[in-house]
Amino acid sequence: MASDTPYLLSIDHLLDEDESLVWSNAREFTQRRLMPVIEKHYEDGTFPAELIAEFGEMGFLGATLTGYGCAEMNPVAYGLTMIELERADSGIRSFCSVQSALVMWPIHTYGTDEQKERWLPGMAKGELIGCFGLTEPNAGSDPGSMRTHAKQDGPGGDYVISGQKFWITNSPIAHVCIVWAKTLDHGSDTPVIRGFLVPRDSKGLSTPITKGKLSMRASVTGEIVLDEVRVPASAMLPGVQGLKGPLSCLTQARYGIGWGVLGAAMDCYERARRYCMDRVQFDKPLAQFQLTQHKLVEQHNAICKGLLLAYHFGRLKQHGKLSPVQVSVLKRDNVEMARDVARTARSMLGGNGIMGEFHIMRHMANLETVYTYEGTHEIHTLSIGRALTGLSAFA
């Protein structure tokens, strides 16, 4: 593990040469390019858009996909890059998660050849940005209750889409929005959910920015407002219908989050440990007090266990054996762990823990969003509960 802080667990010997190289390259890049600027962006509430092309060069965009200029990383290598991106900031990992798992993945998996050619090469380079519109003002944890709808109209089978999507990462800077909407397929009277690729310049589309966030400040969030937006029939993703369309994308993104939050937790633990080694009170470094050591041990052990879980599930995914509910276990438990590590680390720095220059409070605030998006902690608890009992407690 590329760190000068002790970890009594190493997964280094479990990684092949390519995976180790991807990990150290990602670490070097994020430390060199992101760390000097991230705190200022966070304070200003801006995203470092000037680095998007470099994310593309590093292979962070569409990292696991084949062809179209993508890096074709395996799931473990991908997870290791997520660690390093989120060690810098959850908002940076979010940008790459959305672009890779929620936009490029569904185009690659469910799109036509024409859709893939049009969007994927530019997205892999970071020249084109996408966003994923599922959540609505009145449909968060229960996306099946969405109101956004697409109606077929005219001889060419155009779709006319109306509705509103809320809390959408990257929407204000996106060149294309994937919009999930209910529509009536020919000959059916039951609405089904379908995905549509809605380009930025579509008439009737607007993406107002969401202001006032106290978490994820280095990430751009907005709405997608669709006022009778007309798109050709060829804008629909033909390869999937129903809620499993968006949920299968979420499975990809949640997998990356389960790895990424380890980076935020490691950064908090490592900073807290360094601080407690240096800071003297009652004539001793804080690290020499039993209560401080207890905190460090709890943090360290939780991170090691989270890393083992991510690694194990990564190898399962590599062999096509990872189920959505296992991804719920990974997302749920590792996010909760990182959130606890960050909160404890914050307290270990005393007053300095609330200061931006020490970075921990930023991670702590970001992790509140991560706890909520991509399926809240409670929703994943219920998914796992359903798998364990066969009984659904959602409604």
Interface contacts to ligand TGC, rule CB under 6 A: 94, 97-98, 132, 134-135, 141, 143-144, 169, 242-244, 247-248, 250-251, 253, 324, 373-375, 379, 383, 394
From the list ligand FAD, ligand TGC, none, partner contacted by residue 250 (C-beta under 5 to 8 A by kind): ligand TGC
For the question of residue 374 being annotated catalytic, the response is yes
* Nearer of residues 89 and 374 to ligand TGC, judged by Cβ: 374
Q: Please state, in angstroms and as integers, the Cα–Cα distance from residue 237 to each residue in 108, 110, 155, 196, following that order.
A: 10, 6, 19, 6
299 binds, among ligand TGC, ligand FAD, none (CB under 5 to 8 A by kind): none
Which does residue 349 bind out of ligand FAD, ligand TGC, none, counting CB within 5 to 8 angstroms by kind? none
What is the closest distance, in whole angstroms, from the C-beta atom of residue 99 to ligand FAD in the complex? 11
Q: What is the rounded CA–CA span in Å between residue 48 and residue 34? A: 8
**Partner whose binding site includes residue 81, from ligand FAD, ligand TGC, none (CB under 5 to 8 Å by kind):** none
Annotated catalytic residue, options 19, 223, 270, 374: 374
**Shortest distance, position 209 Cβ to ligand TGC, whole Å:** 15
Residue 206, judged by CB atoms within 10 A of its CB (0-12, 13-18, 19+), counts as middle
Q: Which does 244 bind (CB under 5 to 8 A by kind): ligand TGC, ligand FAD, none?
A: ligand TGC
Q: Are 334 and 370 in contact (CB under 8 A)?
A: no
Smaller CB separation from ligand FAD, 21 or 393: 393
234 by Cβ neighbours in 10 Å (0-12 / 13-18 / 19+) ranks as: middle
Q: Supply the minimum distance, in Å, between the C-beta of residue 216 and ligand FAD.
A: 4
Task: Report residue 58 as tokens.
Answer: 């590093």
Considering the complex, what minimum distance in angstroms separates the CB of residue 119 from ligand FAD? 17
Task: Report in angstroms the alpha-carbon separations of 343 from 50, 193, 346, 370.
Answer: 31, 39, 5, 14
Residue 248 binds what, of ligand FAD, ligand TGC, none (CB under 5 to 8 Å, by partner type)?
Answer: ligand TGC
36 CB burial (10 A radius; 0-12, 13-18, 19+)? exposed
Comparing every residue's Cβ against ligand FAD, the nearest one is 140
DSSP assigned state of 248: H
Nearer to ligand TGC, 76 or 379 (CB): 379
CB of 218 to ligand FAD, least distance (A): 11
Tell how strand 205-206 and strand 280-281 pair up.
Answer: unpaired
Residue labelled with tokens 């990424």 = 260
Closer to ligand FAD by Cβ: residue 117 or 394: 394
> Where would I find the beta strands (DSSP E) of the chain?
130-133, 149-153, 158-169, 176-183, 192-199, 205-206, 221-231, 280-281, 284-285
User: Other CB atoms closer than 10 Å to residue 191's CB: what's the count?
Assistant: 14
As measured in angstroms, the least distance from the Cβ of 94 to ligand TGC is 3
Residue 361's Cβ-side half-sphere holds a number of Cα atoms within 13 Å equal to: 15
Interface residues toward ligand FAD, by CB under 6 A? 98, 132-135, 140-141, 167-169, 216, 221, 369, 372-374, 376, 378-379, 394
Q: Which residues are catalytic?
A: 374
